[in-house]
Copies of this chain bind each other. A is one copy, B any other.
Amino acid sequence: MHRTRIRVVEDALDANNTIARANRADFDRASVRVVNLMSAPGAGKTTLLERALAGLDGVRAGVLEGDVQGSMDADRIAHLDVPVVQLNTDAGFGGECHLDANMVRSALVELPLADLDLLVIENVGNLVCPAEFRVGEDARAMVASVTEGEDKPLKYPLMFRACELVVINKIDLLAHLDFDLDRFLHHLDAVNPGVERMLVSARTGEGVEEFRDWLARQAVRAPAAA
């Protein structure tokens, strides 16, 4: 008699990961690549996306906006004539501080996945929990504003470690801040050595093209094996 032993997984994130894998399978079936975009509140995710998506030629992009409440960000993205779905997390006692795989799953039916090459999921503004919950994404990017100070990689190491790309935003303000860029990069390399990074001002447009190119590269999929 063949016996199989099932180990009870005690990881609190296990249910989330199971659903994230189901999301990922749906994304793969639709040949859409998915980027999870994270940051602290007000670091400039939406402005960066607005600027980058505007000139993203040849890539059919869609956006999933995560916010505790309201649809201000989705309204901004909708002006670009890009498919966008707003996901609000305020159904709980005071609002969830992150997106999880199940929330994302509940929004997938609203998105024309088969018509997309790239889906950008803009997470809730928060440097802790969004890094803990995979949602089925292919890549994770975060936006760190220079106004937040040089110490953030050391104070929120999981977030900086979880990302394939760190966008350092609001560099137009550098002349008016005490922010020491070298020190920030030193701290960044301490928690995520050599992680790809780019200097951007979503406001002036400086460096936005580099981020746009990065998005375009994410959308390129290796041809399926024959």
Please report A residues at the B interface, Cβ cutoff 8 Å.
11-13, 40-42, 67-70, 72, 93-97, 124-129, 131-132, 145, 147-149, 151-152, 154-158, 170, 172-173, 176-178, 203
Give the Cβ gap from A103 to chain B, nearest Cβ, in Å: 14
Give the Cβ gap from A119 to chain B, nearest Cβ, in Å: 22
Q: From DSSP, what is the main secondary structure of chain A's interface residues?
A: loop
Contacts of A124 in B (CB 8 A): 128
Query: Nearest residue in B to A172 (C-beta to C-beta)?
Result: B176
Complex contact B96–A155 (CB within 8 A): no
Docked pose: A149 CA to B202 CA in angstroms: 13
When all copies of this chain in the complex are counted, the total is 2
Give the Cβ gap from A41 to chain B, nearest Cβ, in Å: 4
Contacts of A67 in B (CB 8 A): 155
Given contacts A41-B148, A68-B158, A125-B155, 5 further A-B contacts (CB under 8 A): A69-B155, A70-B155, A95-B158, A125-B127, A126-B128
Contacts of A97 in B (CB 8 A): 97, 126, 128-129
Complex contact B156–A68 (CB within 8 A): yes
Complex contact A68–B173 (CB within 8 A): no
Docked pose: A70 CA to B157 CA in angstroms: 10
Q: Top 10 nearest A-B pairs by Cβ distance?
A: A42-B148, A97-B128, A94-B132, A147-B147, A40-B41, A94-B158, A42-B149, A41-B127, A97-B129, A176-B176
Docked pose: A53 CA to B40 CA in angstroms: 27
- Taking A12-B93, A147-B173, A173-B147 as contacts, is the C-beta distance between A68 and B155 under 8 angstroms? yes
Complex contact B42–A152 (CB within 8 A): yes
Docked pose: A37 CA to B162 CA in angstroms: 28
Which residue of the partner chain, among B93, B125, B154, contacts A69 with CB atoms under 8 Å? B154
Docked pose: A127 CA to B125 CA in angstroms: 8
Contacts of A149 in B (CB 8 A): 42
